[in-house]
Amino acid sequence: MPDLRHPLLAALLAANLAANLAAAPPEDARALMLQARALQIRGGGSDPVAAAAIYRRVATLVPESAEVHLRLSESLQEAQDPQGALAPARKAVALAPRNAEARAHLGLLLYQLFQKDEALAPEAARELRTAAALLPQDPELWARLGEVSERRKDGEGALNAWLHLGRLRPSFLGAWERAVIHARALQNYEGRRESVLALNARNPDERHLRMLEELARDQIQAGYLAHAEESFLLLAQHLPQEPGLWENVALVRLQTSRFEEALESLKRAEALKVTPRTAFNTARALMNLGRFQEAETRLAGLLAGKIQDDLIADGAQALYAETLLLEGKGGALLAFLKEHPGRPQVAGELQVFTCQALISRNDWKSALAALKEGIARFPKVPFFQQAAELPPEYLEYRFFARKETRAALEQLHLEGMAAIWSEFRRWDKCLVALERARTLGPIRNVDFLIMQSSAYDQLGRADESLRVLREAQKASPGNPMVQNNLGYLLLEQGKDLEEAAALIEASAKATPDNGNVVDSLGWAQFKLGKLAEAEATLRRAAELSPFSPEVRKHLGEVLEKQGKLAEAAEQWERALAFVFPDRPALEKRLGELRVRLAKEQAQKAVEVPGSVPDAAPDDDDED
């Protein structure tokens, strides 16, 4: 054996070795990757430690490969070394920030590590959020993000994560239940509604049904009638033998002027149990459909029995009186009122019906006596306030032979009838009564001109509506309601926008806390292109009238015009909580807006930061 310590020989051997190494072919990185992958557990192997060693060799060959660092991190995690896996995972994300797999791996790894190290929570939340945006169909990412957010006491983040998970896995009730908890704590109505409806979509237990009932009652309280109807219908689907649920559906439909549908719901309620309340509401629906004879029969049967609820008793008595008046049965009405004098709380209203019945029968002497009694006893009732404004001699029977005296009383009666017709939205009958009243003398109360204008408008006779409002303007130029209605009509007809705005501004100055008027002002500003002013005004209108779909629609229009799409969608979603005639059109627009928002969010999802620092970031730097 040669002496290796000899300097010359050692130098010769070293030179020979170097030459041999230089001549050796380089290692094949691709082949090594395949070899290491086969050793990984997720690759079907069973030796992640050996896989990690090979990946490290490859990393020296191709140090800028995100794939290599990602697989190295996976192997170390499989080898039960999550802490060692963190650095290569961060390196992989730094090299390829748009790589969804690398982001997801880092986020889930950080979730695992943060169980023992709370300092990693901000980075874990950030990486999971980014990964979920890149891989929105991955339920595990949303679940882990929800858990991390809860640990960090980030209610908004947790709610958003559990909602996403619920949408991906609708049958996973745990996600919806946790979403409900956070939505309640945050007073997030939309999140609560979505979660409660999802919990009751299939086979809810008693606890979930109670959540739904509570939601429905809160929706009624908030005026979200469209959503309340949806909740009550879902409850009725699961509890079809509960008559009160069908009755609640009917009440919503009555309140939103869908009387045929209300009748159908009341029929289902009465098939289970007939009550004075269902009979009364059925009569209301029938009257609004012009089916007065059927309503009369219903109410007569109801009033023949004993009604425990005073409100139902009073309402049924007044409704029956109106039915007889509208059917021209003044004599039957007088006989009924004689037998049923009513409680003191409704005596003023019944006295009005007595006067109208007497006038309709041309019993002038008795009518004058009833009018005098009403003026004396019920001075705050509008009908008697108008009667008190007549010349004193008109109320004396000895002067009653004069034509103008009888005309004044008949006009009073017709105006009262017009008000009843308008109550039941029978605008054609209302208009006939008002036009007849105007042939008997000038309208003394501008409110009836406003009513006449509304009747024309409801019947699609816009020009005549405008003409009557102009007449009202001359009669009472400073009347805020006239100013608002006239200004808004000009806006809708696309006429003089400057005049419309001036009228509405004057109305808003006189009634600054009237949400409808403030809404008109904001809409006028929008039409004039004053978007910033319109937004501020309509936000004020939303504060004054939080349950108005019209205000929410208008505010959404302004926000969309300014490019504030997410806020616009929120306002339109709130509008759709209510029932209003053009709901389908707004639903279509909201759907289109959501598509635009989804495209924007998808674009933002790939615009992730260029790198992630090796150390966990401070909480302040999270966003």
What was the pLDDT predicted at 607?
Answer: 56
**Is 420 part of a structural domain of the chain?**
no
- What is the arithmetic mean of pLDDT over 96-108? 95
- What is the arithmetic mean of pLDDT over 496-515? 92
Looking at the chain, the whole-number percentage of residues with pLDDT higher than 70 is 92
What was the pLDDT predicted at 15?
Answer: 47
**Is 525 part of a structural domain of the chain?**
yes
**Is 123 part of a structural domain of the chain?**
no
DSSP conformational letter for 201: S
- What is the arithmetic mean of pLDDT over 72-90? 95
What was the pLDDT predicted at 19?
Answer: 44
**Is 421 part of a structural domain of the chain?**
no
- Host domain of residue 303: 276-342
Please say which residue of 342, 361, 387 terminates a domain: 342
CATH number, domain with residue 596: 1.25.40.10
Domains held by the chain: number = 3
Check whether 441 has a pLDDT greater than 90: no
Q: What is the dihedral of CA 539, 545, 546, 551, to 10 degrees?
A: -60
Check whether 46 has a pLDDT greater than 60: yes
pLDDT digit string (tens) for 314-360? 999 999 999 999 999 999 999 999 998 888 999 999 999 999 999 99
**Is 288 part of a structural domain of the chain?**
yes
Check whether 277 has a pLDDT greater than 60: yes
| CA quadruple 217, 223, 227, 230: dihedral sign | positive
**Is 106 part of a structural domain of the chain?**
no
What was the pLDDT predicted at 548?
Answer: 86
The token pair at 411 is 């006009």
What was the pLDDT predicted at 615?
Answer: 34
- Spatial CA neighbour of 550 closest among 572, 529, 535: 572
Q: Is the distance from CB of 285 to CB of 262 less than 8 angstroms?
A: yes
- What is the arithmetic mean of pLDDT over 472-488? 93
Report how far residue 258's alpha carbon sits from residue 253's, in angstroms, rounded to the nearest whole number: 5
Q: How many other C-beta atoms can be found within 10 angstroms of the C-beta atom of residue 489?
A: 18
Please say which residue of 80, 96, 112 terminates a domain: 96
**Is 144 part of a structural domain of the chain?**
no
What was the pLDDT predicted at 401?
Answer: 65
Check whether 6 has a pLDDT greater than 90: no
Top-confidence residue, 317 or 255: 317
**Is 571 part of a structural domain of the chain?**
yes
- Spatial CA neighbour of 434 closest among 425, 424, 450: 450
| CA quadruple 365, 370, 371, 373: dihedral sign | positive
Check whether 620 has a pLDDT greater than 70: no
Please say which residue of 298, 327, 342 terminates a domain: 342
- List own/partner pairs for 538-545 with CB under 8 A and 24 or more apart: 541/515, 542/571, 544/513, 544/514, 544/515, 544/518, 545/515, 545/516, 545/518, 545/519
- What is the arithmetic mean of pLDDT over 132-156? 95
Q: Is the distance from CB of 32 to CB of 58 less than 8 angstroms?
A: yes
Give the helix/strand (H/E) hosting 340: none
The token pair at 62 is 């191709």
Q: How many other C-beta atoms can be found within 10 angstroms of the C-beta atom of residue 253?
A: 23
- What is the arithmetic mean of pLDDT over 545-568? 91
Top-confidence residue, 379 or 611: 379
